A = this chain, B = another copy of it.
């Protein structure tokens, strides 16, 4: 018997293939219904129901009832961090469950990581803003510099509204495909949705993102390397 937090309890929850599929699907940040998750995990609605009950009791997901639907999201960014760390370790071992299809290349390029932009594009955005001193990167975290506030507002984001939330504005998030940081936090979320508004990106199935032709050129101009 050792002291310390009970990591086995949490790891065992993630350790079932059906539940791991559910959690991975939720990494997209979208709130999914129970039946959608059942299909995603490849099990019937009954088994998915018991899995969701377990995950909720274990504090990994949060559920919210709306009419006769049950919407499910990850409970916190920390849960997402654990999942990304696990994904990174599994990917590093080269143990893929199925052979890597053409989707994987797209997934490495641009994808959604708990509601913010990840992959190659996410890293480019983060590093471009850091290099131009729009973001202050310090060991204890990332903050938005004064010049960055002007930049972000000009980009079409309502900073005051973001600050009214309790969630932190800027957070770094380590990428499993690029092994470099990208921008998380409420600002990361807002920038992703803003890019969709601008018609730069379109969400495909799962956490995949498709970049439009205009998005390609405008992104390169707005976030030079």
Number of copies: 2
Query: A172 contacts which chain B residues (CB < 8 A)?
Result: 139
Is A152 interfacial (CB 8 A cutoff)? no
Query: A100 contacts which chain B residues (CB < 8 A)?
Result: 3
Is A166 interfacial (CB 8 A cutoff)? no
Give the contacting residue for A82; candidates B5, B82, B97, B141; CB below 8 A. Answer: B82
Query: A9 contacts which chain B residues (CB < 8 A)?
Result: 90, 95
Closest CB-CB distance, A130 to chain B, in whole Å?
5
A136-155 vs B, CB cutoff 8 Å, 1 = contact: the mask equals 01111100000000000000
Interface centre among A11, A78, A90 (most CB of B within 10 A): A11
Alpha-carbon gap, A7 to B10, bound state (A): 13
Does B130 contact A5, Cβ atoms closer than 8 Å? no
Query: A6 contacts which chain B residues (CB < 8 A)?
Result: 90, 95-97
Does B2 contact A25, Cβ atoms closer than 8 Å? yes
CB closest chain-B residue, reference A17: B8
Is A45 interfacial (CB 8 A cutoff)? no
19 A-B interface contacts by CB (under 8 A): A2-B24, A2-B25, A2-B97, A3-B96, A3-B97, A4-B91, A5-B86, A5-B90, A5-B176, A6-B90, A6-B97, A7-B14, A7-B20, A10-B89, A11-B20, A78-B85, A78-B88, A82-B82, A139-B181
Is A199 interfacial (CB 8 A cutoff)? no
Alpha-carbon gap, A7 to B48, bound state (A): 18
CB closest chain-B residue, reference A40: B2
